[in-house]
Amino acid sequence: MLGALRLLVPLLATLLTLWSVHAAEAATLLRIGGNGSALATLRLLAAAYHKRHPDTTIRVLPNLGSSGGINALHKGALDLAVSTRALKTDEQEQGLHAVEYARTPFVFANNLKVSKTSITEYELVNLLNQELPVGPNGSRIRIVLRPESDTDTSLVAQISPQVEQALRAAQARPGMLIAVTDADCLETLEKTPGAFGAAALSQIVTEKRAVRILSYNGVAPTLKNLAQGSYPLSKRYYLVLGKNASPAARDFATFLTSPAAHGILHQAGNLPTVAAKER
């Protein structure tokens, strides 16, 4: 009996080692990162994908920004990147490929203590042009700006030449609040009395941010209004794949076209922009 046990122990150890190696080989890890406003939605999508593919784990990295995520993908530090801008020519020449998978209303928002619920283009220009802007009740309005190179800055500037001119004047004004990241912007809107700024609806929804979302030119920033074209401002999301994207990375990209993924995107405040396919 003792001799049999002595033979069995090494055999069991060998079997356990082989099982561990097989399990490690079977498991797949996808690393995805990029623009901060998309990350909470990506975590929801990753969880749904993992439920269908238990051997694949998706790790959503902290905010890297669109360009940071694309650069990390090119260098092999990521398997997938998410961006709010299309690829530049040099990035395309590196073999990267991007597909737009969703849009979300790009909204103006206030600190909850500001009672104003809407803004027009004329009011926006006037607000940006004031050195010490005040609200209807005479209270101070604190404009939260983003860096000049940020996508959100470009989205505001693209509204009209008048808005762009007023925005540039505001950015050149000393003492303005500058939020470096999407999360910084929303945290500033939440914590700063009289704060006013712009953000992605999907991030506000998924992160349950305590801010007051404004109508723009009399139109509410809903997915229905965005789809119909009556709400004009949106932020686009692109999934970026590398030149030698793995089968798992390509499969996740395909998953984003599924009805299941589209349902998650809708609930998270996004309008899918790729055709749904049954999966």
Start-to-end Cα distance in the chain = 54
Report the domain count for the chain: 2
**Model pLDDT, residue 27:** 78
- What tokens were used for 56? 């694949």
Cα-Cα-Cα-Cα dihedral sign, residues 211, 127, 143, 171: positive
In this structure, the answer to whether residues 80 and 110 fall within a common structural domain is no
- Domain membership flag for residue 278: no
In this structure, the answer to whether residues 111 and 219 fall within a common structural domain is yes
**Model pLDDT, residue 10:** 46
**Model pLDDT, residue 210:** 98
H helix and E strand count, the chain: 12, 12
**Model pLDDT, residue 15:** 39
Say if CB 102 and CB 262 are below 8 A apart. no
What is the residue whose two structure tokens read 């090119």?
74
Q: What is the domain extent for residue 263?
A: 2-103+236-272
In this structure, the answer to whether residues 123 and 199 fall within a common structural domain is yes
**Model pLDDT, residue 278:** 66
Report how far residue 205's alpha carbon sits from residue 231's, in angstroms, rounded to the nearest whole number: 18
Q: In order along the chain (279 residues), what is the average pLDDT of each group of 10 residues?
A: 46 42 60 96 97 95 94 95 95 95 97 94 96 82 96 97 98 95 97 97 98 98 97 97 95 95 97 78
In this structure, the answer to whether residues 76 and 174 fall within a common structural domain is no
